[in-house]
């Protein structure tokens, strides 16, 4: 990843830590809830009906899904300890689980479904805790590809909803209401700026609903007939603790889908950081860990109440980019609306009465932005021929399986139900290709030392030996040693506030990228501040008068062609690339 630039994005009106006016918070919170709540309700309804479950379980599942979605959306925004992203991160039921959840209901009932979800959620907890171990597999390239596939996977559903109207509705009702929504939104997005952007989604939805009302498509009677307060007639189904053949046959599928949805959450957690700050920041992987941990809590709660597991909705990312409001208070507001809707059938009816063509047109605009955001994440990470191959093959594999165009007649029906989701098929392909690159990469060399200046001679001797094995000359060996020395100094400075008795350790891994470059990876205990962000700030300052603590950063900029700093709860990982001079590269070759 290239160092972040110092460019300020003035389109961001409110950053995550800001406190927008209460009216703005309520407005955007209600808007975001209005366009996502139907999906939250729809997924458990589809699963229950596909499995032939009765109305008591259906009403309980929908009620429980809204409660869990509200709690986890608030948890993501508020961030309690290490759990939660601290950003607008909408949570809701996942379509990726439809097939496996329906199968579990048919073969084992709601109690079996609850047990399977709880057990598989523990896998996601483990992933969030040890995410740094998978940093070479869950890369920005993988995350960006998954985000692009989200749009591709959901778009067919959106297109179907564009014409999804009750029988007997006038022919022009669907295209007129959808067209009004999309035209108003697109025209406003292209022309308005500043605070007016806050009103773009609402004005698009209102315009669509007004046109829909003219054709009788907005169901006012549904709102009037709904009760003000209500709770489901069904009850908690409990657990199936027999752990019989049904459990063991379905568990692998649940674990696999859970891992795929975790990859999507990782991608969304990287994406939301990209568009939430005026000054671009390097992704903080402690935020990613928190997002995955909160999603794990959501899955655990979903299992405890036997409803469809949660996933991060990318709608929140698109809304933040569209409106320029990334304040986490909006996320808390959305969660409150979800909770209220669970107990207020009239509010739920008001949101669900928005016609499908209007919702579809709104989502069409948001998913278009999301697709481009995935592309930006991939490009900003740097694209060489290897990454281009991973992205291209994974993306089109996902598209092919999503449309059942790849060997559908040769695949077992149960696997086809799983791989028929483009996110699952494409995401797994990206992970496997990235894993192959890592396993077949040139052998690395490593050394472990104390994170201290006293051990610098050991590091220098290690790098000189590494350069000699590669056939590089003394000048290249010196570049490696100088870059390592400056990185070590920066890491030591970041840890100065730690207690003296906590002796920090350093692991240095050296790899060669053919004859063209060397990659050095420094793994140390966590410090404060991100090196990429500090280097971006330096680019805006007067280089003729550097402060003393900035000297190492400035020198590192001279020696390294790229710097990537990943911060986790348990470690700092700095990866730098040092290019071999072209003249020596030819000699080595």
- % of the chain residues with pLDDT over 90: 4
pLDDT above 70 covers what percent of the chain? Answer: 79
Per-residue pLDDT, 72: 93
pLDDT at 49: 62
Tally of helices (H runs) and strands (E runs) in the chain: 21, 7
Q: What is the pLDDT of residue 57?
A: 77
**DSSP β-bridge partners for residue 114:** none
User: How do residues 577-587 score in pLDDT, each as one tens digit?
Assistant: 888 776 655 55
Count Cβ atoms below 10 Å from residue 32 Cβ, excluding itself. Answer: 27
CB 487 within 8 A of CB 478: no
pLDDT tens readout for residues 390-411: 999 999 988 888 777 777 666 6
Give the Å distances, CA to CA, from 540 to 314, 343, 534. 33, 52, 10
At 61 the pLDDT is 82
Tokens encoding 64? 């429980």
CA 447, 529, 539 angle in degrees (round to 5)? 100
Average pLDDT over residues 446-450: 85
Q: Which of 37, 23, 32, 72 is CA-nearest to residue 344?
A: 37
Q: Where in the chain is the domain with CATH 3.30.565.10?
A: 445-588
CA distance 359 to 145: 25
pLDDT at 68 over 90: yes
Nearest Cα to Cα of residue 350 among 8, 9, 1, 34: 34
Nearest to 135 by CA among 146, 143, 124: 143
d(CA 397, CA 17): 39
- Residue 223 C-beta-side C-alpha neighbours within 13 Å: 10
User: Cα-atom radius of gyration of the chain, to the nearest Å?
Assistant: 26
Cα 299 to Cα 310: distance, rounded to the nearest angstrom: 6
Whether the per-residue pLDDT at 543 is higher than 60: the answer is no
Average pLDDT, whole number, for the chain? 77
Confidence of residue 69 (pLDDT cuts 50, 70, 90): very high
What are the pLDDT digits (tens) for 165-205? 877 778 888 898 888 888 988 888 788 765 566 577 778 88
Mean per-residue pLDDT, 417-437: 78
Of the candidate CATH numbers 3.40.50.2000, 2.40.50.1040, 3.30.565.10, 2.60.120.620, the domain formed by 445-588 belongs to 3.30.565.10
Q: Is the pLDDT of residue 533 over 50?
A: no
pLDDT grade, residue 523 (50/70/90)? confident
Please give the DSSP secondary-structure letter assigned to residue 422: H
Closest CA to 574 of 535, 530, 538, 533: 530
Provide the pLDDT for residue 413: 62
| Integer CA distances (angstroms), 163 to 96, 154, 172, in order | 23, 15, 10
Average pLDDT over residues 69-83: 90
More confident residue, 312 or 546: 312
Instruction: List C-alpha distances in Å: 352 to 40, 313, 341.
Output: 11, 18, 10
């Amino acid at each position: 990843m290239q160092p972040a630039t110092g460019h300020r994005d003035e389109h961001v009106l409110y950053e995550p830590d800001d406190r927008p006016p209460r009216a703005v918070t309520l407005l955007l919170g209600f808007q975001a809830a209005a366009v996502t709540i139907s999906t939250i309700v729809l997924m458990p309804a589809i699963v229950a009906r596909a499995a032939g479950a009765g109305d008591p379980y259906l009403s309980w599942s929908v009620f429980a899904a809204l409660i869990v979605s509200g709690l986890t959306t608030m948890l993501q925004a508020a961030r309690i300890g290490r759990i939660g992203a601290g950003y607008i991160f909408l949570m809701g039921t996942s379509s990726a689980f439809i097939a496996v959840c329906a199968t579990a209901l048919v073969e084992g009932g709601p109690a079996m479904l609850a047990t399977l979800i709880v057990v598989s959620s523990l896998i996601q907890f483990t992933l969030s805790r040890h995410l740094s171990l998978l940093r070479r597999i869950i890369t920005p390239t993988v995350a960006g590809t998954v985000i692009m596939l989200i749009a591709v996977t959901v778009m067919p559903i959106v297109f179907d909803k564009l014409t999804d109207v009750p029988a007997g509705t006038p022919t022009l009702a669907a295209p007129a209401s959808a067209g009004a929504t999309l035209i108003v939104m697109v025209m406003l997005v292209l022309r308005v700026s500043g605070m007016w952007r806050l009103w773009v989604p609402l004005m698009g939805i209102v315009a669509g609903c007004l046109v829909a009302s003219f054709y009788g498509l907005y169901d006012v009677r549904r709102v009037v007939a709904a009760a003000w307060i209500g709770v489901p007639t069904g009850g908690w189904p409990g657990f199936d603790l027999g752990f019989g053949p049904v459990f063991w046959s379905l568990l692998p599928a649940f674990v696999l889908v859970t891992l795929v949805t975790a990859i999507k959450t990782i991608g969304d957690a990287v994406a939301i950081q990209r568009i939430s700050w005026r000054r671009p920041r390097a992704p903080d992987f402690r935020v990613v860990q928190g997002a995955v941990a909160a999603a794990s809590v959501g899955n655990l709660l979903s299992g405890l109440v036997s409803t469809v597991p949660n996933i991060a909705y990318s709608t929140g990312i698109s809304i933040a980019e569209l409106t320029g409001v990334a304040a986490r208070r909006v996320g808390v507001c959305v969660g409150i609306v979800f909770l209220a809707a669970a107990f207020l059938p009239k509010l739920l009816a008001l949101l669900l009465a928005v016609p499908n063509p209007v919702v579809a047109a709104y989502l069409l605009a948001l998913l278009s932005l999301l697709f481009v955001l995935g592309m930006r994440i991939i490009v900003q990470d740097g694209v060489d021929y290897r990454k281009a191959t991973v992205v291209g093959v994974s993306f089109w594999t996902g598209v092919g399986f999503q449309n059942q165009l790849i060997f559908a007649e040769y695949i077992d029906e149960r696997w086809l139900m799983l791989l028929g989701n483009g996110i699952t098929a494409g995401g797994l392909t990206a992970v496997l290709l990235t894993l192959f690159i890592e396993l077949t990469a040139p052998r690395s060399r490593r050394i472990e030392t104390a994170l201290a200046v006293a051990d610098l001679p050991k590091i220098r001797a290690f790098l000189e030996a590494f350069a000699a094995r590669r056939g590089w000359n003394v000048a290249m060996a010196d570049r490696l040693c100088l870059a390592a020395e400056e990185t070590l100094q920066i890491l030591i400075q970041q840890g100065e506030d730690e207690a003296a008795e906590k002796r920090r350790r350093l692991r240095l891994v050296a790899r060669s990228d053919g004859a063209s470059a060397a990659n050095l990876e420094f793994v140390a205990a966590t410090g404060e501040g991100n090196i990429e962000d500090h280097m971006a700030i330096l680019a805006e300052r007067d280089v003729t008068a550097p402060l003393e603590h900035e000297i190492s950063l400035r020198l590192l900029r001279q020696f390294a062609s790229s710097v990537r700093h990943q911060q986790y709860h348990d470690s700092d990982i700095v990866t730098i690339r040092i290019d071999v001079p072209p003249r020596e590269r030819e000699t080595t070759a």
